Amino acid sequence: MTVLQRTLRALMASVISALLLAGLVWPQQALAAGVQDFPAELPGNAVLDTADLLSRAASAELDKRLLDLAQDHVDARLVTLRRLDYGLSLDGLGQELVERWSGADPDSALLLLLIESQNNSAAVVASPDLLDQLPEALLSSTAISTMGLPLREGARYRQAGLDALDRLEVVLQGGEDPGPPQLLERLPIETNIPSREDTASSNALLWVVVLLVVGTLVPMITWWVFSR
């Protein structure tokens, strides 16, 4: 085997090793969720944190706030998931869950708050008999604006749930809708820490391959030159 052949084989091995290493450390996509992935019966807990987004303290706090709405004859639940099945919207999943779980308590209407962590999106869906108190426009605004703001500002899942419950509880108790939160203009904070976008768009894999190739080729070329 010639020096050139050995060099080419070493180069190919380095590239393959780099690609395998990248495959091992590359984050795996979470499994998508559809209505079939949720219980057929209404869960016993008010918080169904399937995406594991909430701490134990946050779950307990939200569970209490959701149960407080029972005095308004509302069976309120919070559902989290990592990502949706292809072609399924978060509102669509909420509607399917309402149809599946409605009727568990004939004296209460069902209200679902949903959070998807992949896109930090939210949806608020209610059973038809609750829409007179909580119109579709209010539910949509609560999901997009009230919950959307803390989700966009650092994925604050607990705060998103609390803010939504604060707004909806006022309306359920006969008060005037307080409306979405006021958006304040914030100056960007300078930092040396790269953002998620900067990290995603970096050429880290390319540099790994280049360094591996250089580290393999230079010793071989040096040996070949001085061995002649």
What kind of architecture, by CATH, is found in domain 35-172? Roll (3.10)
Task: Tell me how long the chain is.
Answer: 228
**100-138 per-residue burial string, b: 16 or more CB within 10 A, e: under 16:** bbbeeeeebbbbbbbbbbeebbbbbbbbeebeebbeeeb
Residue 9 has a pLDDT of: 65
Query: What is d(CA 62, CA 161) in angstroms, rounded to the nearest whole number?
Result: 7
Question: How many other C-beta atoms can be found within 10 angstroms of the C-beta atom of residue 163?
Answer: 21
- Asked if 148 contacts 165 with a C-beta cutoff of 8 angstroms, the reply is no
Distances (CA, A) of 16 to 12, 30, 191, 203: 6, 26, 36, 17
Residue 26 has a pLDDT of: 37
Nearest partner of 180 among 189, 172, 188, 171, judged by Cα = 171
- In sequence order, what are the residues at sequence separation of 6 or more whose Cβ sits closer than 8 angstroms to the Cβ of residue 228? none
Low-confidence ranges of the chain (pLDDT < 50): 18-30, 184-190
Residue 203 has a pLDDT of: 62
Residue 33 has a pLDDT of: 76
**54-74 per-residue burial string, b: 16 or more CB within 10 A, e: under 16:** beeebbebbbebbeebeebeb
Query: What is d(CA 183, CA 202) in angstroms, rounded to the nearest whole number?
Result: 32
Residue 225 has a pLDDT of: 61
Query: What is d(CA 40, CA 115) in angstroms, rounded to the nearest whole number?
Result: 20
Distances (CA, A) of 104 to 63, 67, 76, 179: 18, 15, 12, 31
Radius of gyration of the chain (CA): 26
Query: What is d(CA 157, CA 179) in angstroms, rounded to the nearest whole number?
Result: 19
pTM greater than the 0.85 cutoff: no
Q: pLDDT per residue over 47-59, tens digit each?
A: 999 999 999 999 9
Tokens of 102: 């409605």
Residue 65 has a pLDDT of: 97
- Asked if 89 contacts 35 with a C-beta cutoff of 8 angstroms, the reply is no
Tokens of 57: 């303290």
